[in-house]
Amino acid sequence: MPKPGELTFVAPRGAKKPPRHLADLTPAERKDAVAAIGEKPFRAKQLSQHYFARFAHDPAEWTDIPAASRERLAGELLPELMTVVRHISCDDDTTRKTLWRLHDGTLVESVLMRYPDRVTMCISSQAGCGMNCPFCATGQAGLDRNLSTAEIVHQIVEGMRDLRDGAFGGSAGPSPEGADGPGGPARLSNIVFMGMGEPLANYNRVVGAIRRLTDPEPDGLGLSQRGITVSTVGLVPAMLRFADEGFKCRLAVSLHAPDDELRDTLVPVNTRWKVREVLDAAWEYGEKSGRRISIEYALIRDINDQAWRGDLLGRLLKGRRVHVNLIPLNPTPGSKWTASRPEDEKAFIEAIAAHGVPVTVRDTRGQEIDGACGQLAAAER
Ligand code: SAH
């Protein structure tokens, strides 16, 4: 019997294991790994300092470590995990999407978005996805494999390094707090697991990544749990397990329909865990984390955008600590579906708001760079 959260819906297509990396290991495991190659255990802390606090990947920069040890430590604990296939920018250079190639040729995507008051990075937790949602580009291609903890963390380390160095971003508009000027260096404030993959189907590695991201420097990157959002299709056992981790992360639930009949088709895993069970698990997470739940709802013209469905959604959520995020559908190539008409969107919002449930429409960054989940990797394939 698989443990909750370890459920695999589509068998990964037999890829080679990613190389072991510093970011896969707990601080204690790092010491053991360093000792195992005959280096002094305190080198583990030095390596962590270089990787997590200084983003210094080049052994030549590790001047506090004898030259003879640098290459050995780098080879053992900091193997190359991924290379940039390309960056694509838009929205006045405030949005940048990156296509990565992993060691075995697998492709994944991440996106950096710079706003006046914050910087958000959207990262992938799996190569491909096994959840098969028909409106999602990643869902169409199936699951390649789980990403390792380090492959998840490294997307962020690279993003943070480019932000620190002012290598990305924002020829226009004011800079985030603490920045030196428009387009200058900036700090990452938010991370969303809304790139490729279902994070709770890669449970242990995602939880490991959250620890690396939020452990204080130099054990980890020292980011705030409150700034991290984990988005799920609604894998109920894994949601309940996640509630017991004691994290203060935000949980987003991709609902997309308030009724089981329609949700069975839009989010196929709904045939296993129904709307009611998914919401109950979300409320439990909300209780334990003290965080308000986000409900994600992609508005699809004439499919799920009827005012009566907005009313039903409002009734399900009424009185809860919740916020509805409406996402205008970003049509995938060849899809017969498209975004809602403005008047239908308006009526849908009003139907939800009538129940006193807070609702906003998500801004749609990156449309001209195939911003929708999985589109860039699909085009490359
Ligand atoms: N597997 C997770 C996280 C990845 S997708 C999940 O499903 O929650 C992040 C969000 O983007 C999800 O709410 C997903 O349903 C939505 N999404 C995927 N494709 C989309 C599209 N073409 N248009 C709008 N939203 C989309």
pLDDT digits (tens, 9 = 90+) for 5-20: 444 444 445 557 899 9
Does the CB atom of residue 160 touch ligand 1 within 6 A? no
As a whole number, mean pLDDT of residues 231-254 equals 98
The amino acid that residue 306 corresponds to is Q
Identify the residue whose C-alpha is closest to ligand 1 atom 7: 233
Residues carrying an active site annotation: 109, 373
Radius of gyration of the chain (CA): 21
Say whether pLDDT at 138 is over 50. yes
126, 132, 136, 202, best to mutate for ligand 1 pocket (most atoms within 8 Å of CB): 136
Q: How far is the CA of 251 from the centre of ligand 1 (A)?
A: 14
Other CB atoms closer than 10 Å to residue 202's CB: what's the count? 29
| pLDDT (0 to 100) of residue 98 | 95
Ligand 1 atom closest to the CA of 135, numbered from 1: 22
Residue 167 in tokens: 């290598």
Positive or negative CA dihedral for 366, 372, 377, 379? negative
Domains of the chain: 22-77 (1.10.150.530), 82-380 (3.20.20.70)
**Confidence at 173, pLDDT banded by 50, 70, 90:** very low
pLDDT digits (tens, 9 = 90+) for 313-347: 999 999 999 999 999 999 888 889 999 999 999 99
Does the CB atom of residue 340 touch ligand 1 within 6 A? no
Say whether pLDDT at 248 is over 50. yes
- 159 burial type by CB count under 10 A (0-12 exposed, 13-18 middle, 19+ buried): buried
Is there a contact between 42 and 66 (Cβ–Cβ < 8 Å)? no
pLDDT digits (tens, 9 = 90+) for 92-118: 788 899 999 999 999 999 999 998 899
DSSP string over 127-172: EE-SS--TT-HHHHH-EEEEPPHHHHHHHHHHHHHHHHTT-S--SS
